[in-house]
Every structure is written in C-alpha cells, then in structure tokens.
C-alpha cells in the first residue's frame, strides 16, 4: 500500500512540475509550453515617430559615440498605406510626413516592402517558406504591424556638435525602375536618394539577386555643402522582444540579438539582459557583423573587414530593442563623395550560404554548447540527403550509421546488462531473505557481483559516452531550417512540426516501453518504479516535439532493441520483458 501511495505521489509531483513550468513561461511573457497562442502580444512603441532616443544609449555603446540619431521606433505607416499621397492644402510639416510611400518589390524568393522614409526594409515575405502557424500563407521575417515590429535601418550621424544628417527618419525619393524581377533578369536594383540635410545627401542602392537572400546595399555619402565633415554610417536591426509566433518553449531556441568579432567570436544576448543593462559585448572592432536571430531564420548587417566600427545593443522602447554598428567615415570635402558597400542578409539559416558570406555567420544557426559535434553531424546528414533526397530517410540513415559507429560500445553495455539480468533472480532472492539486515544485504550483493564478474555500472559508461553525440544530433535536427515543410512519408508533410495524428509519438512511447522492459529490473522496488516513470514522462513531451526529432528517437530505440535482443540471445540470456509492478 505504501508503494502505491509513493508512486501516486511521484506522478502528482511530476505533473505539478510540468504545470508549474507551463505557467512560468506564461508569467515571463512567453507562449504556454503545451498550448501556445498563435498571436503574440507586442508592446507598441510609446514615443511618436521621430522622437525618442538613439542607438548610442548609455551602457551599451562605447564612449565617444554621438547621441544624435533619431528614434529607432517602428514606422507608423501600415501595409495598407502603400502609395499614400499628400492631401490638398496640407501644412508643410504634415506634407513631408505624408510624402512617405511603401514600395513592394518582388523576386523569386522575396517580397520586400521598403519605406521611402529612410529607405528602410519594413517587411520581408519569404516566398519559399510557409508560416509555422498557418501553412497556407508565406512566412514573414521583417514586419511593421500592430502585432510585430522587425526592421532593417541605416543612416548617417555627425560627430559631437555636428549638424543633423540624413537618417532612417529622412524621407527619400525612389528612382524610377522595375519593381519585380523579370524572367531572364538576374538582379533588381532600387535607388533611394535623400534631399540635402546638413549639407549632405545619402543615396542607398539595394541590389537583389535571383535565388538569393543576400541584399547588397551601397551607401553613397555626398557632400553637397560648403564644409568638410567626417560623418558616421550606422546600420541597425530593430525588433520586438517576443518569441516567433507558434514557437514552443520546449524547443529552448534562442531569440535575440548577436554580434561577432574576431576578438570575442560569437556573442548572443538575451533581451532580458539588455533590459537590465548587463550587456557585455565587444564594443569596438574592424571586422564582424551584427544580427537578430530566431528559430530557423536570421537577419544580419555585414560590413567589410578593415573598416572600424563600434557595436551596440540597446532598448529602444517598451519591448523594442536594437543591435547595430556605427562606422566612422573619413573626412569628405565639399563636392566629394564616399561609397560604403554593405550587405543585408535576411533569410533562412542555411549553413553553407552563411559560411560563404563572412566568417562566423553560420554560428547564428545555434547548436548550443555541442557545436563541435553538431557541425560534422550536419555535414554528414547533408551528404546523406544529397544521395537519398528525402530528409526523413536521411535522418534514419544517419542514426543507423551512428549505431554502427558505436556498435562495440553498445555491445559492451548490453553485455553488462545481460549479465545483470542473469544474476537478477539470485539478487532478488537474497534481498527478500535479508530484507531485515541492510548491511549484510549490501555485503552479500557485492559478493555475488564479484563471483559472477558483473560490474553494476558496466552498462552505464558506454551509453554515457554516446549521450553528447545524440544530444548534438538533437540540436542539428532542431536547428536545421531544411526540416521546415520537408515531407517524409504519408501523413508527415513537415518534419519541423509535431505529428498531426500523434502516430509517431505513440510509436516512440511503445518502443521506449519495450526497450525499458528488456533491461534488468533494479533490485530496489522504488528504483524499479522510477525506471518506468521517467521514460514514460519523457515520452509525453515528444507529443509536442517536431516529427523529425521523434523519428530520430524511434529509429534509435528500434536499433537499440534489435542490438540488445541479439546480444542477449548470443550470451544465452533469453530476452524477457519485465513489466512494471505498480
């Protein structure tokens, strides 16, 4: 009776922990773990357009950076205001604000929306990637709506006491030209020109290429005034602090800003750390990039090596944050111009593409602390896919190869388990006989182990060696954007989403039960119950995991069961199922 009570208490305790975790996620502003809402809440900026603070906020930018950039707050215009015109009789100030226009440009992979206020990118629709929540619509990365804020901006600032210069709040003129990539064309160009501000004109030229998420952005700084000046170019990404819609907290993926420099390598920062002012990043460099990272997708501003830049992260407004860099330019004489080539990447975390752009950019694809193991595993998975052409079967093949590589370690572990199973009847009889004398029971148990040459821990160490590899494979499958909308067989149309009919999680649970039942039961009754409770509780979580991860675990279970069955038979220990006795 006491054992039953203890078991019930363990179940209640485990369920309470799950519910407590779920409510903790909600309390911290994240989606619920098991029933995430499809639409996150976004705190809209409280400052009006053109007001507020600048990238050079205290505590996040090196000293000496001018505090003269307008607010990085989201733009006011919505998607429905494309082509807005100036009302008749409007006042000059109002006319300047109304002159803004949203321009939609389309390539074979993108539908981008540019705002002529600053020539900023305010919306990026991925034509090759479906939304995670609603598969019937395309995925949106950059956005400027009531629900989400995510923008790419750039502009100029002067030194301390210098004049105001063209920024991302300056209304620009878009040069006439094509607005979609025509058949046979490989590139599409957009040219935004600002009016003269502070004696300077800023010209931004975006070049979009067929089949690419890489956007070349040329910044031309022209001195049309009469005074020489050394302006500074800033590049920044502005985003709200919410997780992507539909993202489960079970995945433990990172959402937030990151920077990379040769000195300190890849540094990612939680929004909460920016909120608390505890950001510790490399603030000055001549290489590297700034990025905003989320599950499967990332955006980044790239600047050529050898150009000095100062990096910053800061809170812009309520639930709004920015990451960027400021590059001082050389003095530009009247009538002269300076051109700075930059790159904006906004797209999926395709590892080979990211590696080709700049050193360290592939690190935005976050494998956690096991990157050193995960990268070769992804390389092998990618090679298998190039042969098999199906990501689901590639996962099965990869797990099979890993099982072959670890065959002898597994054989040693299962041999030890088989020996344990062989002596288990003697152990159980001895425990029953000496249950009133714990000290003698322990001595007798050690004597039996010595006589039978059994190491109780012999089955653990070989398996422990493999755990980091399989954890690394877990992160490879979780982080790889190639799994999004990738079909396997039949009803599995997206390996990155949970099985819609829960067939794979049920199969996974059954294989876990079968594998557990083949292992020798621990002599202690409470340990025996926990041996069943933990894998079953673990299996419940897999009902909410991506199908690709569940497939990997099922394959691992089935191969482990087969190997254990063969080894037990060879050692003369007939495979026998030990069902729980609750």
pLDDT digits (tens, 9 = 90+) for 285-295: 999 999 999 99
pLDDT above 70 for 530: no
Q: How confident is the model at residue 310 (pLDDT cuts 50, 70, 90)?
A: very high
- pLDDT of 18 reads 56
pLDDT digits (tens, 9 = 90+) for 390-403: 999 999 999 999 98
pLDDT digits (tens, 9 = 90+) for 450-465: 777 676 655 565 567 6
pLDDT above 90 for 321: yes
- Helices 503-518 and 547-570 cross at an angle (nearest 10°) of 30
pLDDT above 90 for 85: no
> Are 126 and 140 spatial neighbours (Cβ–Cβ below 8 Å)?
yes
* Number of Cβ atoms within 10 Å of the Cβ of 63: 8
- pLDDT of 64 reads 33
> Are 327 and 307 spatial neighbours (Cβ–Cβ below 8 Å)?
yes
Average pLDDT over residues 99-112: 94
Average pLDDT over residues 565-580: 69
- pLDDT of 440 reads 82
DSSP 185-231: --EEEEEEEEPPBTTEEEEEEEEEETT--EEEEEEEEEE-SSS-B--
- pLDDT of 57 reads 40
DSSP 352-408: HHHHHHSTTGGGGS--GGGHHHHHHHHHHHHHHHHHH--HHHHHHHHHHHHHHHTHH
- pLDDT of 27 reads 40
pLDDT above 90 for 42: no
pLDDT above 60 for 384: yes
| Residue 567 to residue 582: CA distance in whole angstroms | 29
Q: Which of 89-103, 119-133, 526-540 has the lowest mean pLDDT?
A: 89-103
Average pLDDT over residues 26-34: 46
Instruction: Identify the residue with better confidence: 251 or 447.
Output: 447
The total number of residues shown for the chain amounts to: 582
Q: Which of 155-159, 318-322, 439-443, 458-462 has the lowest mean pLDDT?
A: 458-462
pLDDT digits (tens, 9 = 90+) for 1-10: 334 444 444 4
Q: How confident is the model at residue 80 (pLDDT cuts 50, 70, 90)?
A: very low
Going by C-beta distance under 8 Å and a sequence separation of 6 or more, which residues neighbour residue 385?
391, 394, 482
pLDDT above 90 for 198: yes
- Look at the alpha carbons of 549, 563, 532, 436 in this order and tell me if their dihedral is positive or negative: negative
At 132, list the tokens. 């995670």
| Residue 71 to residue 53: CA distance in whole angstroms | 5
Instruction: Name the pTM for this structure.
Output: 0.78
């Amino acid at each position: 009776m006491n054992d039953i009570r203890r078991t019930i208490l363990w179940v209640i305790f485990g369920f309470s922990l799950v519910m407590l975790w779920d409510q903790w996620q909600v309390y911290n502003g994240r989606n619920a773990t098991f029933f995430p809402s499809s639409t996150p809440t976004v705190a809209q900026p409280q400052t009006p357009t053109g007001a507020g603070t600048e990238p050079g906020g205290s505590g996040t930018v090196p000293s000496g950076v001018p505090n003269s950039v307008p607010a990085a707050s989201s733009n006011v215009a919505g998607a429905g205001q494309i082509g807005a015109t100036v009302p008749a009789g409007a006042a000059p100030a109002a006319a300047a604000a109304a002159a803004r226009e949203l321009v939609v440009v389309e390539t074979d992979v993108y539908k981008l929306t540019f705002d002529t206020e600053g020539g900023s990118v305010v919306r990026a629709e991925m034509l090759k990637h479906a939304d995670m929540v609603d598969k019937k619509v395309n995925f949106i990365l950059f956005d400027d709506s009531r629900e989400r804020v995510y923008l790419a901006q750039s502009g100029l600032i002067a030194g301390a006491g210098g004049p105001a210069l063209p920024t991302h709040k300056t209304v620009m003129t878009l040069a006439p030209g094509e607005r979609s990539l025509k058949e046979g064309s490989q590139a599409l160009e957009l040219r935004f020109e600002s009016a003269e501000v502070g004696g300077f004109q800023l010209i931004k030229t975006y070049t979009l290429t067929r089949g690419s998420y890489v956007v070349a952005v040329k910044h031309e700084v022209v001195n049309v005034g009469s005074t020489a000046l050394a302006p500074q170019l800033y590049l920044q990404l502005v985003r709200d602090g919410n997780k992507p819609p539909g993202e489960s907290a079970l995945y433990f993926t990172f959402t937030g800003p990151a920077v990379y420099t040769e000195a300190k390598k890849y540094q990612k920062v939680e929004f909460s750390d920016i909120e608390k002012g505890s950001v510790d990043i490399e603030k000055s460099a001549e290489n590297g990039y700034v990025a905003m990272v989320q599950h499967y997708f990332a955006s980044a501003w790239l600047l050529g090596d050898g150009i000095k830049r100062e990096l910053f992260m800061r809170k812009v407004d309520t639930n709004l944050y920015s990451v960027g860099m400021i590059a001082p330019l050389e003095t530009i004489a009247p009538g002269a111009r300076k051109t700075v080539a930059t790159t904006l990447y906004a797209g999926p975390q395709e590892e080979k593409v990211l590696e080709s752009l700049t050193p360290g950019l592939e690190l935005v694809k976050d494998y956690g602390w096991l990157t050193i193991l995960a990268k070769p595993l992804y390389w092998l998975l990618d090679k298998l896919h190039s042969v098999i052409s199906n990501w689901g079967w590639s996962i099965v093949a990869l797990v099979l190869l890993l099982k072959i590589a670890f065959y002898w370690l597994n054989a040693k572990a299962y041999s030890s388990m088989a020996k344990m199973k062989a002596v288990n009847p003697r152990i159980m009889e001895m425990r029953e006989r000496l249950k009133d004398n714990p000290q003698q029971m322990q001595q007798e148990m050690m004597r039996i182990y010595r006589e039978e040459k059994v190491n109780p821990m012999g089955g653990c160490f070989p398996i422990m060696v493999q755990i980091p590899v399989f954890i690394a494979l877990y992160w490879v499958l979780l982080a790889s954007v190639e799994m999004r909308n990738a079909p396997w067989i039949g009803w599995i149309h997206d390996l990155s989403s949970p099985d819609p009919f829960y067939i794979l999680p049920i199969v996974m649970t059954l294989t876990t039960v079968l594998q557990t039942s083949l292992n020798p039961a621990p002599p202690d009754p409470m340990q025996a119950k926990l041996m069943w409770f933990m894998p079953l509780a673990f299996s419940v979580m897999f009902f909410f995991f991506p199908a690709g991860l569940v497939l990997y675990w099922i394959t691992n279970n089935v191969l482990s069961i087969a190997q254990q069955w063969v080894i037990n038979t060879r050692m003369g220990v007939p495979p026998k199922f030990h069902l729980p006795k609750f």
